[in-house]
Every structure is written in structure tokens, then in C-alpha cells.
Amino acid sequence: DQQVKQNSPSLSVQEGRISILNCDYTNSMFDYFLWYKKYPAEGPTFLISISSIKDKNEDGRFTVFLNKSAKHLSLHIVPSQPGDSAVYFCAAAPSGGGADGLTFGKGTHLIIQP
């Protein structure tokens, strides 16, 4: 049973427009959420995170929104740039702190078209 779901395997967005990547989770124990970006032949790179006590976190062009009641989070990239083309993984961690294993979604391949 997938606890973190990214239902769109791929997403194509025109350069300069907004990219919205979605993620749903089922485990109520998750209270910390992260987005990672992955280029081919490289390990995932941490992008942005959000704690369950917030509903929004912004870092430059990247904003993550969390809707706890819907168990849904989204990553907004504005404006989208060619270098944003990569696979984006949503990940979640339970409460309690520490470095417990993250539960990842299967990823969304974002393609930014010129």
C-alpha cells in the first residue's frame, strides 16, 4: 500500500509558466514533508520542506503548500526554467524527530518546454 502517492508520472510545462506538482499521503503519522529533485545519474537533491504546523513554505521560486485535512501537498515552481526539468520526489516522515527513513512517492518527471 503506497503511503505517499504522486499520481502524475510526468508533467510538461512551458518555460516561464507555473509548474504544479502534487502529492497525496495516507499515513496520519506523517508530519514533515520534503521535496527532492533528481537529475539522471545523480542522487536526489533536497529542495524544500514543510512541517505540519505550517500550510505554506516559500523559498525563491519554490513554494510548498500543505493541506492537512486533505492529506495533500503541492510544489509550485514559478517561473519554470529549463533547468527545472528533472524528476521530483515527494517524501514524508513521521513525528518524533530524528532521521527515520523517509517514505517517497514514485516521482513526477517534469519537462520544461522552451
Partner 1 sequence: KAGVTQTPRYLIKTRGQQVTLSCSPISGHRSVSWYQQTPGQGLQFLFEYFSETQRNKGNFPGRFSGRQFSNSRSEMNVSTLELGDSALYLCASSKLITSGGHEQFFGPGTRLTVL
Of 74, 78, 80, the residue nearest 110 (C-alpha): 80
Provide, rounded to whole angstroms, the least separation between the CB of residue 19 and partner 1: 20
Give 102's DSSP letter.
Answer: P
Q: Is 25 in the site for partner 1 (CB under 8 A)?
A: no
In whole angstroms, give the CA distance from residue 80 to residue 61.
8
The amino acid sitting at 108 is T
Listed ranges 43-51, 55-63, 67-75, 78-86: which one lies at the site for partner 1 (CB under 8 A): 43-51
Provide, rounded to whole angstroms, the least separation between the CB of residue 7 and partner 1: 13
Provide, rounded to whole angstroms, the least separation between the CB of residue 79 and partner 1: 25
Q: Which of 23, 66, 107, 112 binds partner 1 (CB under 8 A)?
A: 107
Q: Is 10 in the site for partner 1 (CB under 8 A)?
A: no
Q: Residue 10: which residues within 8 A CB-CB, separation 6 or more?
A: 108, 109, 110, 111
